[in-house]
Structure 1
Amino acid sequence: MTGAGRLAIAGSADLVMVRQQVRAVAIEAGLSLIDQTKVVTAASELARNALVHAGGGTVTIEVVEDGRRRGLRLAFSDDGPGIPDTEQALTDGFTTGGGLGLGLGGSRRLVDEFDLTSAPGKGTMVVVTKWIRR
């Protein structure tokens, strides 16, 4: 896939680039318009979280296959302060940044697979996958 790869998230312009690249690769992978919108929305929120809460990070965008299906996987990582309580962070309404507190939980609902790994002082890794519906 030509659009797959790794992008830096270091400023607000990068948030636009992440959305554009995720949409381009989602189209290449064959996701429906609805699923493209869902994965772009999740990517936008996760990229914004990396920028706001960790000062930046990276996203790796790739098309994946598991033998019976194809999808789009996004891996967001940062070297920020980490999340002390990941379960609490996934609870709707919980926020440390003054927002609505729907980012992580909302992102989890928009994708098929969601894996959050974080610890204080260790940064955060969020890997999401959206599978193509047949």
Structure 2
Amino acid sequence: MNMKSSVDIISEWDIVAARQLGRNEAKDAGFGTVDQARITTAISELARNIYLYAGKGNIEIKQIVEGNLKGILVIASDEGPGISDVRKVMEDGYTTSGGLGAGLPGVKRLMDDFKIETVVGDGTTIIATKWLR
């Protein structure tokens, strides 16, 4: 059962829509309220990054099953400027927006698996997974 849902991120309202979708999918997958909050916070951060840095992009959220593991897969993709220094953006406290967001290190902490694929001038895809315990 691989239901796919996604939200195009174009305006700030889409960040809210992505959060809501994430919460619904996480709840549907059987995550408790604490993990639901972790997942929605991560999605919010990823969606905000797309909105701030790329202008537009997409958040895809799907329930996945690998063997006896169930989880939520979040794919944030954009065709923005890309990330020139991935190590730098992964440092705690690093921000270019001056925001109080947890940034990408926060997303990595909130989720179980985290991967960045980025090409400068071409865009960024971030794949994050949270497994049901």
TM-score after normalising by structure 1: 0.93
Which secondary structure does the structure 1 equivalent of 2:13 belong to? helix
User: 1:53: which partner in 2?
Assistant: 53
Which secondary structure does the structure 2 equivalent of 1:82 belong to? coil
Identify unmatched segments of 5+ residues in structure 1. Answer: none
Summarize the alignment of residues 28-67 of structure 1 with structure 2, pairs less than 5 Å apart: 28-67=28-67
User: 2:111: which partner in 1?
Assistant: 111
How many residue pairs were aligned? 133
Could you list the per-position Cα deviations for residues 67-120 of structure 1 after superposition, in whole angstroms to 9, with x for gaps in the alignment?
Answer: 121000010000000000111111012122222473100011000000111121
Deviation at 1:4, TM superposition (A): 3.6
TM-score after normalising by structure 2: 0.94
Which secondary structure does the structure 2 equivalent of 1:31 belong to? coil
Identity %: 41
Distance (whole Å) between structure 2 residues aligned to residue 67 and residue 128 of structure 1 = 18
User: 2:5: which partner in 1?
Assistant: 5
Which secondary structure does the structure 2 equivalent of 1:45 belong to? helix
Identify unmatched segments of 5+ residues in structure 2. Answer: none
Distance (whole Å) between structure 1 residues aligned to residue 131 and residue 95 of structure 2 = 29
Distance (whole Å) between structure 1 residues aligned to residue 52 and residue 130 of structure 2 = 24
Distance (whole Å) between structure 2 residues aligned to residue 12 and residue 121 of structure 1 = 23
Distance (whole Å) between structure 2 residues aligned to residue 47 and residue 68 of structure 1 = 29
Distance (whole Å) between structure 1 residues aligned to residue 2 and residue 114 of structure 2 = 24
